[in-house]
Amino acid sequence: MPAQRAIVTGAGGFIGHHLVRALKADGYWVRGVDLKYPEFGTTVADEFELLDLRRWEQCETAMRGARGAEVYNLAANMGGIGYIEHHKAVIMHDNVLINTHVLEAAREEQAERYLYTSSACVYPIYRQQSPDVTPLREEDAYPADPEDGYGWEKLFSERQCRHYWEDYGLETRVVRFHNIFGPLGTYDGGREKSPAAICRKVALARDGEAIEVWGDGSQTRSYCYVDDAVEGMRRLIHSSHRDPLNLGQERLISINELVDLVASIAGKRVTRHHIAGALGVRGRTSDNTRLRAVLGWEPTVSLEAGLRQTYEWIAAQLAARSAAAPAPLRAPAVAPLR
């Protein structure tokens, strides 16, 4: 019996890199596609192709031979709140082109199933104005008022997937991620998400020092470990559920509490210095009622366990970087004049 086949776009990114590893561990033949190779570690994909999925002809190349295969479209121009707040035009331009082209190329090649990775950013701003937010159900996405830029393009692409099922019969699946985190993700440079940024700041801080926190720190989120995200995607693509589905944790935590939790894991006393910065919505968490009903499953890795893995990995990366950095040049000692 031939091995199952999958094509993973965004395979050079954080979640895509983990997904490729999981598929290969289950015996899949995998083609990975991205603009870049994984930043941390070598890909285990059978084929890995550097392609720009904003270009139609390169999507045709990426999807060649996709008949009967599973297609996971994780490719996107994205980052943390600081990045998506200040790059709305390019994010919308790039991501709408990517999904439009990949979806059409997968249809033309007669892919068996197509999974699109959406985001909790599709949920209306008016439902997320308090830190004590009501958990968001899938139907709460309408009437629409998603996060400007990134949220709008995600909501549009969700509808596009729906219409490809209705009009062409392509089996599409849509997952709405709620703040996925874990090792092998970017932790500096401006595109990192809040758990990675806080882990980096705490790792670099001396015991008793303050770290910078954007806003008053009372904004709340829920966080889902990457292993659970991968498991949820794979369960969803094999299910019969065609409507968008939340994938996250239901535990709500403030940014201030997240800082304290990371500091406890690090064994450090850390204080918070609140500064101006991009904040996003005041509160956001997932309602997993439908996830449990559809998949008979929900994320199981605790925030503490996931953060410990993430912190230890980021701290090790920073230590290795520091050890590899050249020693600063020092002026030669000069004997005093006599």
Looking at residue 81, its pLDDT comes to 82
Confidence label for 335 from pLDDT (cuts 50, 70 and 90): very low
Q: Residue 114's beta-bridge partner residues?
A: 71, 172
Active site residue ranges: 150
Measuring CA to CA, how many Å separate 296 from each of 72, 232, 288? 21, 11, 11
The closest alpha carbon to 111, from 167, 163, 49, 168, belongs to: 168
* Contact of 6 with 30, CB cutoff 8 Å: yes
Tokens 């990775």 correspond to what residue? 117
Judge if the upstream peptide bond of residue 336 is cis by omega within 30 degrees of 0: no
Q: What is the pTM of this model?
A: 0.93
Looking at residue 332, its pLDDT comes to 46
CB atoms within 10 A of CB 328: 5
* Contact of 171 with 242, CB cutoff 8 Å: yes
Looking at residue 336, its pLDDT comes to 37
Select the more confidently predicted residue: 335 or 172. Answer: 172
For residue 2, the 8-state DSSP code is P
Cα–Cα distance for residue pair 48/128, rounded to 1 Å: 39
Looking at residue 326, its pLDDT comes to 72
* Contact of 233 with 180, CB cutoff 8 Å: no
CB atoms within 10 A of CB 170: 20
pLDDT digits (tens, 9 = 90+) for 116-143: 999 999 999 999 999 999 999 999 999 9
Cα–Cα distance for residue pair 166/292, rounded to 1 Å: 25
Looking at residue 78, its pLDDT comes to 87
Residue 3 has pLDDT above 70, yes or no: no
Rounded mean pLDDT of 10-36? 98
Domain ranges across the chain = 5-322
pLDDT digits (tens, 9 = 90+) for 211-231: 999 989 999 999 999 999 999
Q: What angle do CA 157, 172, 167 make, to 5 degrees?
A: 80
In this structure, are strands 220-221 and 253-254 parallel, antiparallel, or unpaired? antiparallel
For residue 109, the 8-state DSSP code is T
First to last CA, the chain: 88
Q: Which two tokens stand for residue 209?
A: 């020092």
* Contact of 223 with 195, CB cutoff 8 Å: yes
Q: Dihedral sign, CA of 10, 14, 16, 21?
A: positive
Select the more confidently predicted residue: 84 or 237. Answer: 237
Cα–Cα distance for residue pair 236/202, rounded to 1 Å: 35
Looking at residue 333, its pLDDT comes to 42
CB atoms within 10 A of CB 317: 18
Give me the percent of the chain exceeding a pLDDT of 70: 96
Domain 5-322 adopts which CATH fold? Rossmann fold (3.40.50)
- Give the type of residue at 319: A
